[in-house]
A and B are shown apart, each in its own frame.
Chain A
């Protein structure tokens, strides 16, 4: 058992973006100062998270408690390897997204920017709350706050499409969490007869039978619908009505990763891998995830709207993560945790590119991108790198996590797990990778290699504003770096798998 250490740093890391909210609202009339607050908060947050990193690597668990709220359940932060990994990803990308949002929102002269930045800061606070949550109740509370605080962002445009998108968004996310997670959580509390902390290995004792275990597991897995598992996935494509920075940070990184993060927590912290191996029920989740991987990739092929295509791709990639953890092999779980980070870098790059194209050329359909590579070479190069990462090709981080996921599948049957459909799952990985390539590579190919008369663009280069261009170059670079140096992430993932 890792040693617990009381610390205020998690609290401040959570607080800093929360106090930024009133500051942003008060400075609403002065856009430069307002964005200054955002940057300041983002950088302070990232530094605080980095400050915790060495302690976590020593094997410590930092905790901070707000006090008990229900008998035996405190509102509590416990920062461990998984939490810090997610916090690093979210807080580092918040800095880049803030810069990007500044360029994007100002270029398009969007309305209500104060509300936008305020909600953004609030949702980051909730994300960190989820990452650091020390027990199910804390996790649940911040999960709900995240749903609510991102609603104004999704419906930012306020038109009919945005309203209906927002309705789908909230009804799916709130509905599933109230209907499934809440009773499941209370059941755990009752079963345990007290606290519902994560770090105790298996929260549930072995006196749970397979039937109840399966229902509980499915309630959690579907209940955290932010993970985009089918059939509760349709909020994500509908949320694409949001401005692109929202889609980029929230619907490729923060919100959706919170969903899979919760699932990983449930697998590792609530049930515990050992108990799940005994119960032998996770295979159901594996197959639901496998189904989602293939189906969403096929749907992605049919989408002409670039952001919707990316959204369906995200749904598939999230299911990789769920699939990985439900394999219950240590390599599979490592692969899942790695994929949280690797997919984040790749997908945010793709969204940044989509937004950059929209800001510069006002194009949002795949069919309109023929020949755009000559017009916006930097953006499209970054897009190519992001695509490689999501497909899982060298030399990008996506390959590393996918490698672990595949090796985790190969390990099925060894290592105390049951070999249930190993070959079929491997085939699914292969097919879905091919499908990923099918829906991304033609975009890249036709952007660069087309006959002059086919090209829809003429004239010289015209890139997006620097504030948009710099972040997407950095995230593309991060995708590449994480291929050559993934050791930090592997190490942090290793802290969870003893």
Chain B
């Protein structure tokens, strides 16, 4: 039974999605129950998976789909491969998915109405796709799964208000270009090596010493470009802010914390497993230097753009873009601490983005105002929501004991270790900008005068969601907020264990 954990984990939401569409019959309530069960099962299974991976010292779990052996000479088999890193992110995905389903309970009827069952079906498919991306050990299968997540997320975003359709279309274009780049890169690799299994490709490249081959270098560049587009690394970020802020609130709360982070994970996988640290950080190439500088630009630009926004969700999405810069930079620092810090930041950023997006969604829904003045006086009126928002915000700034502090700690350590002072400065700069952004909001919430609830909703406002007034927030929205805020603190306090797991796993691959 436990041998089949990885696949069961995928099958549960896959069947959940089918059940939702077949038997949902336009009833969101049933679909909600189904997805609670299926994602609950997935979450529990991913906990077991993590425990199992932790119990085997120095190694990973391999699962061969359908029993095909990918190394038998016929490269038709697909392999799942789970180490501690993968298990941690799978756990994050399934847990965020589960908690987000709790949050969607009242939001789905309110925001997508009739289409409720389809929403649940799509989001479960999305989770299947994301978990698959994390676990698969097959470069082409990875592409297929990326497309699954993309297609589902286009639909999920397009369910939003009337601006969502256009932003989803934007995302379709950019996402397709990105995925095509990736596919093209995989094609080059396949031509050169004749295999799609990530480990096999690496072994082949190593044995044949193909590191200087033009086509391998082109393949690497194409794959990186594809992945960067999908993760919205500045300046390839154009699709993200609109897509995430006009999507239905429960789509935004799910996608914002996870989508970009999973792609960062894919980047780290490609860097260290497919190509290997020797190639990536090779002293002959300027990539490490160049890409760290690119991440510095991403961090600074993302922070400035966030500072300039007056729309809550837009502001948060630009912060995500800055955070992507943190992780890309950390991964490229050529220091184990930097890599592990980037990886730790995947988890901690998922937690704090989740927390902030839920809190922001609650505020926007309750006040009917999507600009920053929605926060006026909210510490008195919605203290619980604001506490959650404050914890998320403090973590973004990087104040102890939130997880944001520790991820900065490790990333800065990595920067100092590898002598990339520009990266250290960029991180500190972004902390300061975040401090300005969030304390501006805290000040509003603390001193601002509460306005009456607006009757008419202007064009700039989210037009599908009517203001619900500042009354008590339902438990189905508050509980997710608290869990996410708590996880921000727990990840921070547990950082020592997490970090040692992560760096041990990375040590093995770095040799």
Which A residues are within 8 Å of any B CB, using their own CB? 68-71, 137, 140-141, 144, 148, 152, 155, 158, 163, 166-167, 170-171, 174-175, 178-179, 182-183, 186-187, 189-190
Contacts and interface: CB of A to CB of B under 8 A. Distances in A.
B204 interface: no
A71 B499 contact: yes
B113 interface: no
Interface stretch (B48-56, B135-143, B260-268, B429-437): B429-437
Contact of A68 (B399, B431, B496): B496
B417 interface: yes
A318 B413 CA distance: 32
Given A155-B447, A175-B432, 4 more contacts: A158-B447, A179-B431, A182-B409, A186-B413
B37 interface: no
Contacts of A155: 446-447
A141 B397 CA distance: 14
B428 A140 contact: no
B446 to A, nearest CB: 8
A144 B416 contact: no
Interface in B478-502: 493, 495-496, 499-500
Main secondary structure of the interface of B (DSSP, over half): helix
Top-6 shortest CB links A-B = A141-B400, A186-B412, A178-B431, A190-B416, A179-B428, A186-B413
A158 B445 CA distance: 12
A187 B416 CA distance: 7
A178 B398 contact: yes
B412 A144 contact: no
B413 A190 contact: yes
Contacts of B357: none
Given A178-B432, A183-B428, A70 B409 contact: yes
B443 A179 contact: no
A183 B424 contact: yes
Nearest to A191: B416
28 contacts: A69-B493, A70-B409, A70-B499, A71-B496, A71-B499, A71-B500, A140-B400, A141-B400, A148-B399, A155-B447, A170-B435, A171-B435, A171-B439, A174-B435, A174-B439, A175-B432, A175-B435, A182-B408, A182-B431, A183-B412, A183-B416, A183-B424, A183-B428, A186-B409, A186-B413, A186-B416, A189-B413, A190-B416
Interface string B436-467: 10010001001100000000000000000000
Nearest to A176: B432
In this complex, which of A170, A179, A182 has the most chain B Cβ atoms within 10 angstroms of its Cβ? Answer: A182
A140 B408 CA distance: 14
A178 B435 contact: yes
Contacts of A137: 400
Contacts of A166: 443
Contacts of A190: 413, 416-417
B135 to A, nearest CB: 29
Given A175-B435, A186-B409, A186-B416, A70 B447 contact: no
Contacts of A70: 406, 409, 495-496, 499
B416 A69 contact: no
Interface residues of B, number: 27
Contact of A69 (B408, B447, B496): B496
B447 A163 contact: yes
A141 B400 CA distance: 6
Interface string B388-416: 00000000011111000010110011001
Contacts of B446: 152, 155
Interface in B415-429: 416-417, 424, 428
Contacts of A167: 439, 443
A152 B401 CA distance: 20
Secondary structure type dominating chain A contacts: helix
Contacts of A71: 496, 499-500
Q: Which of A186, A187, A189 lies at the interface centre, i.e. has the most chain B CB atoms within 10 A of its CB?
A: A186
A182 B496 contact: no
Nearest to A147: B399
B332 to A, nearest CB: 19
B431 A144 contact: no
B443 A163 contact: yes
Nearest to A174: B435
Nearest to B399: A144
A233 B432 CA distance: 18
Nearest to B436: A171
Nearest to A148: B399
Contacts of B397: 174, 178
A89 B76 CA distance: 75
A69 B413 contact: no
A187 B421 CA distance: 11
A122 to B, nearest CB: 15
A69 B432 contact: no
Contact of B432 (A68, A152, A179, A187): A179
Contacts of A69: 401, 493, 495-496
Contacts of A170: 435, 439
Given A71-B496, A183-B424, A141 B401 contact: yes
B413 A178 contact: no
Nearest to A160: B447
Contacts of A163: 443, 447
Contacts of B500: 71
B180 to A, nearest CB: 41
Contacts of B416: 183, 186-187, 190
A220 B443 CA distance: 28
Contacts of B493: 69
A221 B417 CA distance: 23
A183 B428 CA distance: 8
A219 to B, nearest CB: 11
A256 B415 CA distance: 32
B63 to A, nearest CB: 33
A116 B320 CA distance: 36
B423 to A, nearest CB: 11
Contacts of B398: 178, 182
A482 B27 CA distance: 79
A189 B431 CA distance: 20
Nearest to B398: A178
Contacts of A189: 413
Nearest to B411: A186
Nearest to A185: B409
Nearest to B412: A186
Contacts of B413: 186, 189-190
B407 to A, nearest CB: 12
B495 to A, nearest CB: 7
B506 to A, nearest CB: 15
Contacts of B400: 137, 140-141, 144
Interface string B195-234: 0000000000000000000000000000000000000000
A67 to B, nearest CB: 9
B337 to A, nearest CB: 9
Contacts of A171: 435-436, 439
Nearest to A175: B432
Contact of B412 (A140, A148, A182): A182
Nearest to A167: B443
Contact of A182 (B428, B435, B436, B439): B428
B308 to A, nearest CB: 18
A182 B500 CA distance: 22
A376 B443 CA distance: 39
Contacts of B432: 175, 178-179
A141 B405 CA distance: 10
A75 to B, nearest CB: 9
A207 B417 CA distance: 16
A144 B394 CA distance: 11
Contacts of A175: 432, 435
A186 B423 CA distance: 14
Contacts of B399: 144, 148
B193 to A, nearest CB: 39
Nearest to A159: B447
A156 B500 CA distance: 44
A466 B436 CA distance: 43
